[in-house]
Amino acid sequence: MSGTRRCSPTPRLPDYDLRKPLIVAANGHAIAGGMELLRAGDLRVVASKTLLGLSEVKLGLIPAMGGTATLIRHMPRALAAEMLLTGNVISADRALAVGFVNRVVEVDAVLATATELARTIAANAPLAIAATRDLLRTSFDQTEAEALDQEATLSARFAKSADAVEGPRAFLEKRSPVFTGR
């Protein structure tokens, strides 16, 4: 066994899920670590001239913040493979066209657009937002039947919440709902 090197397993990164919708805004290039941060968001707003990419292979490295494992969950596999293997960047417009980003706006509108998305989400029922986000994140790896079952289970649970009563009542009364998170 002399001369044989054994590699210890790479430690698994802890789950840093904030348990709330994360909106990420970039008003400049998002390359390497910046792209990893952008990828971690639930919603993404970028400036129109932004370039996005994972350039680590050009430096003899690999993306080490989840990019290799998760980029194919956010864009077509062929594009993810091209970006990861070449280290080349894509434009904000291409990222929008493939569904990686939600909005492409001028630099001076990036923060305002991200803030407006946050306000829209915050006006909704907090329990429903949390459950919907959880379903979005977990259903990707499930069969359709499993995802539908999980959705039905959560839907039945939340149908009895105070927020689920308040929402339709406010709609019928033509007023804004007042959600309490219960």
pLDDT band at 16 (very low <50, low <70, confident <90, very high): low
Topology of the domain covering 23-121: 2-enoyl-CoA Hydratase; Chain A, domain 1 (3.90.226)
Instruction: Work out the angle between the directed axes of helices 162-172 and 126-139 (0-180°, nearest 10).
Output: 110
pLDDT band at 15 (very low <50, low <70, confident <90, very high): low
Collapsed DSSP state (helix, strand, coil) of residue 106: coil
User: Could you say which of 56, 82, 166, 173 is catalytic?
Assistant: 56
Topology of the domain covering 125-172: Lyase 2-enoyl-coa Hydratase; Chain  A, domain 2 (1.10.12)
CB 131 within 8 A of CB 154: yes
Q: Is residue 36 flagged as an active site residue?
A: yes
Residue carrying the six token digits 């709330």: 20
Q: Is residue 116 flagged as an active site residue?
A: no
Tokens representing 71? 């980029």
Residue 97 has pLDDT above 60, yes or no: yes
User: Could you say which of 36, 82, 144, 166 is catalytic?
Assistant: 36
53: β partners:
31
Domain borders along the chain are 23-121, 125-172
Lowest mean pLDDT among 61-70, 84-93, 158-167: 61-70
